[in-house]
Amino acid sequence: MTSNSEEPKPRPRGSVTFDNSGRVVIVTGGCSGIGRSICDNFARSGATVVCADVDTAAAQHLPRRIEFRPCDTSSKEDCQSVVQWTVEEFGGLDVMVNNAAVQPKESYRPIHELSADVWNRVLGVNLSGYTFMAMSALCHMRQQRSGVVVNIASGQGHRTARQVGTYGPIKAANIMQARQWAVEYARDGIRVVSVSPGAIDTPLVRASLAEQGGSAALANRHPVGRIGQPEEVASAVLWISGPDASFVTGTDLEVDGGLGALGSFADPYPMPTVVSS
Ligand SMILES: NC(=O)c1ccc[n+]([C@@H]2O[C@H](COP(=O)([O-])OP(=O)(O)OC[C@H]3O[C@@H](n4cnc5c(N)ncnc54)[C@H](O)[C@@H]3O)[C@@H](O)[C@H]2O)c1
């Protein structure tokens, strides 16, 4: 028996091990944040991983077990060339993770103040980029009669806030792309899903903390009381792209610490008091 003042003894947490030996995976935007974690998790579980990213400087820091191909996903030719290189080099393509996205500071505006250049830049990477990669990947997956496409979307694709008139609607389109492609290619043995993270500790979120009310307020908005870690999204991607999720397609998985469950009419959680030493 424990007295009320004592912390309860931690219970076993269980664990899941993934085996992706022999599978070939492309991850766009794999040099940083969530994409990097997805690359690491797939590589650790035995997959051949190709990271397609514009950031050739950051690519120098990728571990050797992750292949790098320079690629601007807003270019259809770049996307085509990464998929073709991967299939020729490794003999197939099993998982395509559309993850590369941008959210420039200039996009945090109501749309009447938005420049067409900013809109077109976000649209090019965050929406056309997903389609361009999928176009090429799905051609090969149809021939194989197998494959999984995962679109990394966002909680902001489900519900919105002020100032995200560019990023939010385009993230909603990533969810709908996944549904449409799932329906289109289900009889070809291909599954397509989306994963929608809440706020995750990555450079993209760190760069916009001021616009999101600061780190403490952002953490407190999530029912679990913290923002997520990239590994927590990567684990969801590994599960959903694996055989245990064989009946899961055309749907979205929110990985968000409960953020999406909390109504805007709910009392906000009290801000935790900071104890200064
Ligand atoms: N971090 C979050 O809180 C959060 C929340 C919800 C959704 N997301 C989504 O998760 C995904 C990853 O976000 P992140 O926070 O890890 O971002 P990040 O900024 O840390 O990393 C993005 C990566 O994409 C690459 N990239 C940018 N433009 C590219 C292009 N044109 N072609 C190829 N690569 C390009 C960058 O070089 C970088 O390596 C995005 O789709 C984002 O919308 C993130």
Could you report the per-residue pLDDT of 221-262, keeping only the tens digit for each? 999 999 999 999 999 999 999 999 999 999 999 999 999 999
The whole-number pLDDT of residue 124 equals 98
Report the candidate in 259, 254, 211 with the shortest Cα–Cα distance to residue 104: 211
The whole-number pLDDT of residue 1 equals 44
The CATH number assigned to the domain with range 24-255 reads 3.40.50.720
Any alpha helices (H) in 10-114, and if so which ranges? 33-44, 56-59, 76-90
For residue 5, pLDDT over 80 is answered with no
253 in helix, strand or coil? Answer: strand
CA–CA gap between residue 10 and residue 12 (Å, rounded):
7
The whole-number pLDDT of residue 274 equals 66
For residue 205, pLDDT over 60 is answered with yes
**52 and 76 Cβ atoms separated by less than 8 Å:** no
The whole-number pLDDT of residue 275 equals 62
- Both structure tokens of 30: 């794999």
Could you tell me what percent of the chain has a pLDDT over 90? Answer: 92
The CB of 258 under 6 Å from ligand 1? The reply is no
Higher pLDDT among residues 276 and 142, named by residue: 142
CA–CA gap between residue 156 and residue 172 (Å, rounded):
7
Could you report the per-residue pLDDT of 175-197, keeping only the tens digit for each? 999 999 999 999 999 999 999 99
The whole-number pLDDT of residue 212 equals 82
The CB of 31 under 6 Å from ligand 1? The reply is yes
The whole-number pLDDT of residue 176 equals 98
The whole-number pLDDT of residue 3 equals 53
Helix (H) or strand (E) holding 242: none
The whole-number pLDDT of residue 261 equals 97
Domain boundaries, the chain: 24-255
- Please say whether the dihedral angle defined by the alpha carbons of residues 207, 210, 214 and 218, taken in this order, is positive or negative: negative
| Cα dihedral: 121, 124, 126, 127 (round 10) | 140
The CB of 100 under 6 Å from ligand 1? The reply is yes
- Residue from 26, 31, 34, 206 whose mutation best tests the ligand 1 pocket (most atoms within 8 A of CB): 34
Report the candidate in 121, 89, 128, 124 with the shortest Cα–Cα distance to residue 107: 121
Instruction: Give the active site residue among 108, 130, 167, 185.
Output: 167
Could you report the per-residue pLDDT of 28-84, keeping only the tens digit for each? 999 999 999 999 999 999 999 999 999 999 999 999 999 999 999 999 999 999 999
| Cα dihedral: 207, 210, 211, 215 (round 10) | 90
Could you report the per-residue pLDDT of 95-136, keeping only the tens digit for each? 999 999 999 999 999 999 999 999 999 999 999 999 999 999
Strands 252-255 and 24-28, by their bridges, are unpaired
Map tokens 């085509």 to a residue.
80
